C-alpha cells in the first residue's frame, strides 16, 4: 500500500511548498539538479558548488551584498504580469512612415520561422555544412536585394537603415581618392533618424556633413559622396540620374536609401547609376516592434565587394563537387584585420533577413507588385478625396506617402480628430501633415482618413466614385521597366502547403539547439525559453510604430525602466542605454561616451585606446570608428594581460590615454586576479575602462563590472540574457555606465528616450530592437537574484567539468587559480598536426558526424577550440559531447598509430553525408559504419550534414552571391 497523501507530503514537501507555483523556472533553465551537480563536482574535485566558486572567482571582486532584483515568478504568473504591463500600450493605426510601415507577416512564416526554435536558436553559419538551410534563405535575400535595387551585389543584412547608411558613408570614405575632400552631402529629405546616425558616425572620423536640397547642391572635389532618399522622406519621387551623374563627374559617389516595396514599380536606383543602395526590409513581413529588430540591407557594385561591410553568403562546391553555400570573403574579417577592418559588424539581422526573404518567396514578383500597386492605389484614392475636400498635396509624384497642406484647419486639430479614431498622423508643421499608407490599409481606413480631414463631417462623395476615376500617379519615366525575381525560388512556393514544405526543408538542413548543444565559446548558446519568446509577437509589442506619441507606449516604458534598473543592479552601474542593437554597437556607443566625456573636460586629445592582443576583433574595429588610435597590449604565457606591458604603455601614453578595452573574464576563459590593478593603472593615467561584457555569463550575481572598476560595459542580451542568436542576429547590446558617463549615452532626434538627448543616436530607433528586450526582461524576472547566481555557478561548473574530463586527451590552454577555468575553456589542437596531420578544422567537421556543432574555432588562439557549455546543458548532454570528443581523440590516435590512413580517414573526409555513405561507390580505407555511426547513441539520434566539406578557397576565388540555377544541384 502507498502511504497517505498527508504522509507523502510530510516526507517530500513542506505543506507550504505544495502551495508555491508548480511551474518555477530555474529548474527548467538549468540543465542539472542537485544530484547531477554533486556528480560533476566530485569529478572536478570539490564537494560543494560554493567552494568551487570561491576558488574560481577572485575573492577581492566577489559581490558583497545581495542584488535588488525582483522575486522570481513562475512561467504562468510571468505571462499574466507581462500581459498587464503591455496592455498599457495603445495599438493605433500608424500612418507615420519615416521608413516604418505596418505590414502583414504571413502566418505560415510567423509560425514556422519567427516562432520556431529550429530557426531562431541557430548560430551564425560559420559551420557551412550544417547551415545550408539558412544560407539558402540568405542567398535568396541577397538576390532579392540585388534584383529590386538593380545593383550587382548585396550582403546578408545590416542592423537597420540608419546604420546601413552610415556604413555606406564610411565605405565610400575609405574608397575616396587622396585628392577628394572630407565632405559628405545629405539630402534634407533623408529620414531624420538616418541623418542622426550619419552625423554621430561622421564626427569622430572628421567627416564634414553638409545637409541641403539635392537640387541646389553643386558637386565639387570637396565631396566624396552624397546620400538621397527614394522616395523622399516627404513622399516625393525624384529621378536622381542627373544628380548622380553630376556627382560622378567630380569623382564623388552616390548612396540611395530606398524603400524596397516601391522598387517593384519604380525605376530602381541601380538604373540611375547609384553606387550603393541601402534601406530596411521591415515592410517585407517584419512586425514594427516599436522600432526593431529589422534587417537593414546594403547593395553595391562588384567593384566594391571587398570593402563591403557585414556578411556575404557565397556559393562554393563541396567535397563531392556539388554546390555548397558558405560565408565568403569577410567571414572573420574583424578577427584578421582588426583596427583595419572595414566595419565592426559582427551580429547582424539574420533571422529578420530570412523572414523578409521568405516574404518575397511566398508572394513572388507578381504578388509583391500587387501589394505595391494596392498601396499606391489606396494612396491615390486618398489624394483624390483630399483634393475633393479642397486640400493641396505638395509631394507629387508620390508612391505611398503624401504631404497635405492645410489652410482652414491646423495640424493640431487634425491630429486631435485622428487620435479620436486611434490613428497616428505626422504633423510636419502647423500647416502640413504627412500620411504614409501601407499593406494593411483598407478602404475603411481611407474613408476614416477622409473623415478626419473633413473635420468629422460626413463626406459628400463615396469612395466608389473616386475609385472609378483615378489612375496610377507615377510618371512613366519613373516606372520600372526591368524584370526582377525571375529565379525559380521566387516563383514556386505560392501555396501554403508548398511554402510550409520549403521552410521545413531548409530548417531540416540546419543544426540548431533543437538538435544538440552548441558549445560556442564567447557566444553563450543557452536556453531561449518558450515563455521568454512568446510575447515577442503579441500585438501589444509587435504592432507599434517607433515614433508614436509617448502616451501610447506606457507598457514599453515600464519594461524598459525595469530592465534598465535590473541591468544597473547586475552590472553595478548608474545608467543603462538599450539603444545599441548588437555588442559591436554597444562598444561603439560606449567608446563614444568616453570620447565625449574627455571632450567635455577639454581633453579631446585623449585618443589612445589600449587593447589586449586577445581581444575580440570588434574591439579594435569599434575603437577606430569612435576615433581612437589602437595600441596593442601583450598577454603572458598564462593568457593573462601582461600587466608590466600594460603599465609601460599606459605611462608612455599618459598624456593622451583615452581608454582600455578589456574583456572579463578574459577571452582566454580565466578570471584574471589582477583586474582591479589593471583598472587602477588606467585611471591613474587619465584613461577610462571599457569592459567588453560578452563574458558576463560568468559574472552575473558573483561580481560586477562597476565594482571591479570599469566605467562602461556592454552586455550581449543575445548571449547572457537569453535572446536567441537567430542564425546570426538579431542582437541587443545595451551599455551600462558609471554616473560621470551618463550624460553621454545615445539620444534620438525624434523620440525622447530617457537619455540626455544632446547626444547623437547610434541606431535608427530610440530603443534599438525594442520588441525583443522583453525576452531578457522575462528571463531576469523568472530567475531573480538567487536563480541568476545559481545559473552563473552552474555555467562555471559545467565548463570545469568538461575541462577536467577532456584534459587528458586535449591540453586545456589557460587556467586560473587551482587550475580552474571560468565559464569556458580552450582546448589546444595544435599538437596533433605533427603526428596525424589533423587540424582544428578536421575536428570541427568530424563533430558534425557525431551530431554536434563545433565549439568556437581559432578564437582567441589559432588552432584551438573554445568550449562554452552554459548552465542550460544537462550532465547527460555534456557527457555525450565529451564522449564524442574522446572518440575523436581515439581516431586521431589511430591515425598516429597507423591503423587509420593519414590522408584517407574519417577526420579528413568529414563530414559524411547520407549520400556519400549510401553510395554504391565506397573506396575509403575505413568502413561506412565508422564514418556515420562512430558511437552507439548515434543510431537513435543521427543528424545528417546536407553537404560534404565546403571548399573555402574555391568559394573566394569564384565569388557567386546570388541564387544559382536549379540544374546545378542535379
Ligand X SMILES: *Cc1c(COP(=O)(O)O)cnc(C)c1O
Binding site for ligand X (CB under 6 A): 346-347, 522, 582-584, 616, 618, 663, 667, 692, 694, 716, 731, 733
Query: Smallest gap, in angstroms, from Cβ of residue 25 to ligand X?
Result: 25
DSSP secondary structure code for residue 910 in this structure = P
All cell numbers assigned to 880:
555525450
All cell numbers assigned to 400:
505611398
Counting beta carbons within 10 angstroms of the beta carbon of residue 8, is it exposed (0 to 12), middle (13 to 18) or buried (19 or more)? exposed
Q: Which is nearer to ligand X, 583 or 612 (CB)?
A: 583
Distance in angstroms (rounded) separating the CA atoms of residues 626 and 606: 12
Q: Which is nearer to ligand X, 348 or 544 (CB)?
A: 348
Closest alpha carbon to 851 in 951, 932, 948, 950? 932
Q: Which is nearer to ligand X, 621 or 885 (CB)?
A: 621
- The answer to whether the CB of 124 falls within 8 A of the CB of 725 is yes
- From the CB of residue 6, how many other CB atoms can be counted at a distance below 10 Å? 8
Q: Which is nearer to ligand X, 262 or 614 (CB)?
A: 614
Closest alpha carbon to 873 in 517, 477, 555, 434? 517
Query: Smallest gap, in angstroms, from Cβ of residue 717 to ligand X?
Result: 9
All cell numbers assigned to 760:
547623437
Distance in angstroms (rounded) separating the CA atoms of residues 882 and 519: 11
Sequence length of the chain is 970
DSSP secondary structure code for residue 862 in this structure = T
Strands 735-737 and 712-715: antiparallel
Q: Which is nearer to ligand X, 822 or 884 (CB)?
A: 822
Distance in angstroms (rounded) separating the CA atoms of residues 733 and 583: 4
Query: Smallest gap, in angstroms, from Cβ of residue 64 to ligand X?
Result: 27
Q: Which is nearer to ligand X, 577 or 618 (CB)?
A: 618
Q: Which is nearer to ligand X, 525 or 527 (CB)?
A: 525
All cell numbers assigned to 291:
522600432
Q: Which is nearer to ligand X, 197 or 274 (CB)?
A: 197
Q: Which is nearer to ligand X, 823 or 875 (CB)?
A: 823
CA angle 134, 140, 142 (to 5 degrees): 105
DSSP secondary structure code for residue 114 in this structure = I
Query: Smallest gap, in angstroms, from Cβ of residue 695 to ligand X?
Result: 6
Q: Which is nearer to ligand X, 480 or 668 (CB)?
A: 668
Query: Smallest gap, in angstroms, from Cβ of residue 163 to ligand X?
Result: 12
Integer CA distances (angstroms), 868 to 404, 524, 853, in order: 57, 7, 12
- The answer to whether the CB of 198 falls within 8 A of the CB of 166 is yes
- The answer to whether the CB of 154 falls within 8 A of the CB of 961 is yes
Distance in angstroms (rounded) separating the CA atoms of residues 258 and 250: 24
Q: Which is nearer to ligand X, 273 or 731 (CB)?
A: 731
Integer CA distances (angstroms), 392 to 253, 399, 453, in order: 36, 16, 12
Query: Smallest gap, in angstroms, from Cβ of residue 823 to ligand X?
Result: 12
* CB proximity list for 11: less than 8 A, separation 6 or greater: 3
- From the CB of residue 368, how many other CB atoms can be counted at a distance below 10 Å? 24
Q: Which is nearer to ligand X, 138 or 435 (CB)?
A: 138
Query: Smallest gap, in angstroms, from Cβ of residue 693 to ligand X?
Result: 8
Query: Smallest gap, in angstroms, from Cβ of residue 311 to ligand X?
Result: 11
Side-chain-side CA neighbours of 628 within 13 Å: the count stands at 36
Query: Smallest gap, in angstroms, from Cβ of residue 214 to ligand X?
Result: 34
CA dihedral sign of residues 413, 418, 422, 426: negative
Distance in angstroms (rounded) separating the CA atoms of residues 891 and 837: 12
Query: Smallest gap, in angstroms, from Cβ of residue 818 to ligand X?
Result: 25
* CB proximity list for 644: less than 8 A, separation 6 or greater: none
Q: Which is nearer to ligand X, 520 or 892 (CB)?
A: 520
All cell numbers assigned to 316:
562554393
Distance in angstroms (rounded) separating the CA atoms of residues 203 and 209: 9
Closest alpha carbon to 194 in 224, 232, 246? 232
Query: Smallest gap, in angstroms, from Cβ of residue 821 to ligand X?
Result: 16
Query: Smallest gap, in angstroms, from Cβ of residue 546 to ligand X?
Result: 21
Query: Smallest gap, in angstroms, from Cβ of residue 731 to ligand X?
Result: 4
Query: Smallest gap, in angstroms, from Cβ of residue 332 to ligand X?
Result: 12
Query: Smallest gap, in angstroms, from Cβ of residue 659 to ligand X?
Result: 15
Q: Which is nearer to ligand X, 326 or 823 (CB)?
A: 823
- The answer to whether the CB of 278 falls within 8 A of the CB of 164 is yes
Query: Smallest gap, in angstroms, from Cβ of residue 589 to ligand X?
Result: 12
Closest alpha carbon to 190 in 240, 152, 150, 146? 240
Query: Smallest gap, in angstroms, from Cβ of residue 165 to ligand X?
Result: 19
Q: Which is nearer to ligand X, 688 or 836 (CB)?
A: 688
Q: Which is nearer to ligand X, 58 or 729 (CB)?
A: 729
CA dihedral sign of residues 333, 334, 338, 344: positive
- Residue with smallest beta-carbon separation from ligand X: 583
Buried b (16+ CB within 10 A) or exposed e, 657-685: bbbbbbbbbbbbbbbbeebebbbebbbeb
- The answer to whether the CB of 524 falls within 8 A of the CB of 397 is no
- From the CB of residue 38, how many other CB atoms can be counted at a distance below 10 Å? 14
Q: Which is nearer to ligand X, 247 or 641 (CB)?
A: 641
- The answer to whether the CB of 429 falls within 8 A of the CB of 413 is no
Strands 223-230 and 183-187: parallel
Amino acid at each position: 500500500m502507498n502511504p497517505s497523501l498527508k504522509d507523502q507530503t510530510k516526507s517530500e514537501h513542506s505543506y507550504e511548498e505544495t502551495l508555491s507555483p508548480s511551474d518555477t523556472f530555474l529548474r527548467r533553465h538549468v540543465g542539472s539538479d542537485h544530484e547531477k551537480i554533486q556528480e560533476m563536482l566530485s569529478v572536478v574535485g570539490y564537494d560543494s558548488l560554493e567552494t568551487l566558486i570561491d576558488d574560481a572567482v577572485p575573492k577581492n571582486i566577489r559581490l558583497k551584498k545581495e542584488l535588488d532584483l525582483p522575486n522570481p515568478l513562475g512561467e504562468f504568473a510571468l505571462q499574466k504580469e507581462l500581459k498587464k504591463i503591455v496592455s498599457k500600450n495603445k495599438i493605433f493605426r500608424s500612418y507615420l512612415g519615416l521608413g516604418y510601415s505596418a505590414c502583414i507577416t504571413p502566418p505560415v512564416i510567423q509560425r514556422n520561422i519567427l516562432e520556431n526554435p529550429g530557426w531562431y536558436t541557430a548560430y551564425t553559419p560559420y559551420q557551412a555544412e550544417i547551415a545550408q538551410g539558412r544560407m539558402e534563405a540568405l542567398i535568396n535575400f541577397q538576390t532579392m536585394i540585388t534584383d529590386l535595387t538593380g545593383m550587382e551585389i548585396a550582403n546578408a543584412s545590416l542592423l537597420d537603415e540608419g546604420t546601413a547608411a552610415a556604413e555606406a558613408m564610411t565605405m565610400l570614405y575609405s574608397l575616396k581618392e587622396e585628392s577628394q575632400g572630407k565632405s559628405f552631402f545629405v539630402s534634407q529629405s533623408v529620414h531624420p533618424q538616418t541623418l542622426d546616425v550619419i552625423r554621430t558616425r561622421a564626427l569622430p572620423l572628421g567627416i564634414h556633413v553638409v545637409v541641403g536640397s539635392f537640387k541646389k547642391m553643386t558637386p565639387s572635389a570637396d565631396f566624396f559622396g552624397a546620400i538621397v532618399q527614394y522616395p523622399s522622406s516627404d513622399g516625393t519621387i525624384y529621378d536622381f540620374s542627373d544628380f548622380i551623374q553630376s556627382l560622378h563627374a567630380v569623382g564623388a559617389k552616390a548612396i540611395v536609401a530606398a524603400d524596397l516595396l516601391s522598387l517593384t514599380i519604380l525605376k530602381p536606383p541601380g538604373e540611375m547609376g547609384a553606387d550603393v543602395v541601402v534601406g530596411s526590409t521591415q515592410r517585407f513581413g517584419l512586425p514594427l516592434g516599436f522600432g526593431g529588430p529589422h534587417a537593414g540591407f546594403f547593395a553595391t557594385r562588384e567593384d566594391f565587394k571587398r570593402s563591403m561591410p557585414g556578411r556575404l553568403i557565397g556559393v562554393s562546391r563541396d567535397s563531392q563537387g556539388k554546390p555548397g553555400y558558405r560565408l565568403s570573403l569577410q567571414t572573420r574579417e574583424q578577427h584578421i584585420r582588426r583596427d583595419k577592418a572595414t566595419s565592426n559588424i559582427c551580429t547582424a539581422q539574420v533571422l529578420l533577413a530570412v523572414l523578409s526573404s521568405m516574404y518575397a518567396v511566398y508572394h513572388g514578383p507578381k504578388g509583391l507588385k500587387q501589394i505595391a500597386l494596392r498601396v499606391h492605389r489606396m494612396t491615390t484614392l486618398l489624394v483624390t478625396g483630399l483634393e475633393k475636400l479642397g486640400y493641396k498635396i505638395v509631394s507629387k509624384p508620390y508612391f505611398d506617402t503624401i504631404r497635405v497642406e492645410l489652410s482652414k484647419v491646423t495640424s493640431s486639430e487634425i491630429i486631435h480628430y485622428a487620435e479620436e479614431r486611434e490613428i497616428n498622423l505626422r504633423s510636419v508643421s502647423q500647416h502640413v501633415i504627412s500620411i504614409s499608407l501601407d499593406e494593411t490599409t483598407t478602404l475603411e481606413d481611407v474613408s476614416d482618413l477622409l473623415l478626419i480631414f473633413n473635420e468629422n463631417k460626413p463626406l459628400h462623395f463615396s469612395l466608389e466614385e473616386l475609385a472609378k476615376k483615378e489612375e496610377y500617379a507615377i510618371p512613366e519615366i519613373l516606372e520600372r521597366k526591368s524584370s526582377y525575381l525571375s529565379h525559380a525560388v521566387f516563383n514556386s512556393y505560392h501555396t501554403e502547403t508548398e511554402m510550409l514544405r520549403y521552410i521545413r526543408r531548409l530548417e531540416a538542413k540546419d543544426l540548431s539547439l533543437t538538435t544538440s548543444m552548441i558549445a560556442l565559446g564567447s557566444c553563450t548558446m543557452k536556453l531561449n525559453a518558450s515563455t521568454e519568446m512568446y510575447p515577442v509577437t503579441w500585438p501589444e509589442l509587435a504592432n507599434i510604430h517607433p515614433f508614436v506619441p509617448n502616451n501610447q507606449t506606457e507598457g514599453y516604458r515600464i519594461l524598459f525602466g525595469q530592465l534598465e534598473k535590473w541591468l544597473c543592479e547586475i552590472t553595478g552601474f548608474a545608467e543603462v542605454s538599450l539603444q545599441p542593437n548588437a555588442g559591436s554597437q554597444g562598444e561603439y556607443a560606449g567608446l563614444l561616451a568616453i570620447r565625449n566625456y574627455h571632450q567635455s573636460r577639454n581633453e579631446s586629445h585623449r585618443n589612445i585606446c589600449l587593447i589586449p592582443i586577445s581581444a575580440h576583433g570588434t574591439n579594435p574595429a569599434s575603437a577606430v570608428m569612435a576615433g581612437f588610435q589602437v595600441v596593442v597590449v601583450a598577454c603572458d604565457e598564462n593568457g593573462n594581460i601582461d600587466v608590466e606591458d600594460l603599465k609601460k604603455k599606459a605611462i608612455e601614453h599618459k598624456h593622451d590615454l583615452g581608454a582600455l578595452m578589456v574583456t572579463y573574464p578574459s577571452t582566454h576563459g580565466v578570471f584574471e586576479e589582477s583586474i582591479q590593478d589593471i583598472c587602477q593603472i588606467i585611471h591613474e593615467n587619465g584613461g577610462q575602462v571599457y569592459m567588453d561584457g560578452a563574458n558576463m555569463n560568468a559574472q552575473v550575481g558573483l561580481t560586477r563590472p562597476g565594482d571591479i572598476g570599469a566605467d562602461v560595459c556592454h552586455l550581449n542580451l543575445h548571449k547572457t540574457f537569453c535572446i536567441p542568436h537567430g542564425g546570426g542576429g538579431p542582437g541587443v547590446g545595451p551599455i551600462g555606465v558609471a554616473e560621470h558617463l551618463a550624460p553621454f549615452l545615445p539620444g534620438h532626434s525624434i523620440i525622447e528616450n530617457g537619455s540626455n538627448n544632446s547626444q547623437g543616436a547610434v541606431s535608427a530607433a530610440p530603443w534599438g530592437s525594442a520588441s525583443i528586450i522583453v525576452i531578457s526582461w522575462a528571463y531576469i524576472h523568472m530567475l531573480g537574484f538567487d536563480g541568476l547566481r545559481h545559473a552563473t555557478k552552474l555555467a562555471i561548473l559545467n565548463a570545469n567539468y568538461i575541462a577536467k574530463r577532456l584534459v587528458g586527451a586535449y591540453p586545456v590552454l589557460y587556467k586560473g587559480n587551482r587550475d580552474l577555468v571560468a565559464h569556458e575553456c580552450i582546448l589546444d589542437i595544435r599538437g596533433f598536426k605533427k603526428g596525424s596531420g589533423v587540424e582544428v578544422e578536421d575536428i570541427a567537421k568530424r563533430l558534425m558526424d557525431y551530431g554536434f556543432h563545433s565549439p568556437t574555432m581559432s578564437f582567441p588562439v589559432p588552432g584551438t577550440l573554445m568550449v562554452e557549455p552554459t548552465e542550460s546543458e544537462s550532465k547527460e548532454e555534456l557527457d555525450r559531447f565529451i564522449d564524442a570528443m574522446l572518440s575523436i581523440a581515439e581516431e586521431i590516435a589511430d591515425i598516429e598509430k597507423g591503423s587509420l590512413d593519414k590522408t584517407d580517414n574519417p577526420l579528413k573526409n568529414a563530414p559524411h553525408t547520407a549520400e556519400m555513405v549510401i553510395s554504391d561507390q565506397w573506396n575509403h580505407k575505413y568502413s561506412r559504419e565508422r564514418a556515420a555511426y562512430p558511437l552507439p547513441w548515434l543510431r537513435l539520434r543521427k543528424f545528417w550534414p546536407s553537404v560534404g566539406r565546403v571548399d573555402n578557397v574555391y568559394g573566394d576565388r569564384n565569388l557567386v552571391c546570388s541564387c544559382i540555377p536549379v540544374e546545378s544541384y542535379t
